[in-house]
Amino acid sequence: MTATAPIIGALASQNCQACPIRHRAVCAKCDDDELVRLERMKSYRTWQAGETIVMEGGTLPFVGSVVKGSASLTRYLEDGRVQMVGLLMPSDFIGRPGRSTAPYEVTAISEVTLCMFDRAQFEALLKNSMQVSSRLLEMSLDELDAARDWMLLLGRKTAREKVATFLALVLRRAPVSASPLRCTLPLGRDTIATYLGLTIETVSRQITALRRDGLIRLEGNGRTILCDDLTALLVQAGEDEAGTLSR
C-alpha cells in the first residue's frame, strides 16, 4: 500500500535558492541553516496526469510540497460516489506530520512534481524550528478557511453559483490581468463535477448557460475560458461580498 514510484521523472536534487516555490511553501520563512537541513532530506519525484500518488487509507512515507502541476484530494463512499476535498497547487503542502496514513486519495491532475521530505527527519526538524512549524500552521489555517468556504458552496449554492464560483477561482489565478482574462482549465468536466458536488452533465449545462448569458466565452476544445467581466461572474457566484474569494 506504499506509494509506488514511477521510475520516470526522478529529478536531480536542485538548489532550494532557485526553487520556484521558495517563498510560498512550508520553507518560506527558513533561514540558510534550516534550508541546508531541508536540502539534505529532500528528493524530487514526478507523477503523470491521472496517476495515483496515495490511495485512501494508504501509507504516505513522506511529506512534501507541490513544486509544479496540481493534485487532488478525494474521498469515496462505498458505493463509488466521490467528492474532491482539496485541490493542491504549487507550494501547497501534502501529508500530515505525526500520521503516515492518508485519509483521502491523492491523485495527479496534471503532471505533478513533489519536493518530498523524509517523514521522520521532517518531524524532527519541525520540533525545533519555529520558522517551519509556524509557516505550516499558517498554511494549515489557510486550508481550513478554504475548506469552510467550500462547505458553504457544497451545502447551499445552486449549480450555477457553484460553476461560477469555480470559474472565478481559476480565472483569478490567470496570468496577470490582461483583458479579457484567459485561462486553460487543468481539469476536465468530470473532475470539476467531483470538485463541485455535481454531475458532469450539470457542469456542462451550466457552463453553456453562462456562455449563453455572455458571462464567459469558450475557446478551442472547451478547456479555455475567457472572461471580460470578472465582477459580473462573481455576482453569479452568490457570495455575500464579491471580495471573499480574494482572501
100 binds DNA (CB under 7 A): no
Q: How far apart are the first and last CA of the chain?
A: 37
221 binds DNA (CB under 7 A): yes
Look at residue 160 and give the partner it binds from DNA, a second copy, none, a contact being a CB closer than 5 to 8 Å depending on partner kind: DNA
Interface segment toward a second copy; rule CB under 8 A; list 20-28, 69-77, 169-177, 182-190: 69-77
205 binds DNA (CB under 7 A): yes
Residues near 178 by Cβ (< 8 Å), separated by ≥ 6?
none
Cα 152 from chain centre: 18
Question: How far apart, in whole angstroms, are the C-alpha atoms of residue 209 and residue 216?
Answer: 9
Question: How far apart, in whole angstroms, are the C-alpha atoms of residue 44 and residue 124?
Answer: 20
Q: Which residues pair with 65 in a beta bridge?
A: 93, 115
Which positions from 99 to 138 touch a second copy by CB under 8 A, shown as an x/- string? Answer: ----xx---------------------xxx-x--xx-xxx
Residues near 234 by Cβ (< 8 Å), separated by ≥ 6?
164, 168, 242, 245
188 binds DNA (CB under 7 A): yes
Cβ closest to a second copy, residue 154 vs residue 183: 154
Interface segment toward DNA; rule CB under 7 A; list 89-97, 100-108, 183-191, 239-247: 183-191
Residues near 147 by Cβ (< 8 Å), separated by ≥ 6?
85, 86
90 binds a second copy (CB under 8 A): no
Cβ closest to a second copy, residue 36 vs residue 141: 141
Question: Prior bond to 180 cis, omega within 30?
Answer: yes
Task: Walk across the sheet containing 62-68 and list its strands.
Answer: 42-47, 112-118, 62-68, 93-94
Look at residue 31 and give the partner it binds from DNA, a second copy, none, a contact being a CB closer than 5 to 8 Å depending on partner kind: none
Question: How far apart, in whole angstroms, are the C-alpha atoms of residue 46 and residue 14?
Answer: 14
219 binds DNA (CB under 7 A): no
154 binds a second copy (CB under 8 A): yes
Q: Which residues bind DNA (CB under 7 A)?
A: 158-160, 188-190, 197-205, 207-208, 218, 220-223
Binding site for a second copy (CB under 8 A): 56, 73, 75-79, 81-83, 85-86, 96-98, 103-104, 126-128, 130, 133-134, 136-138, 140-141, 143-145, 147-152, 154-157, 196-197, 238-240, 247
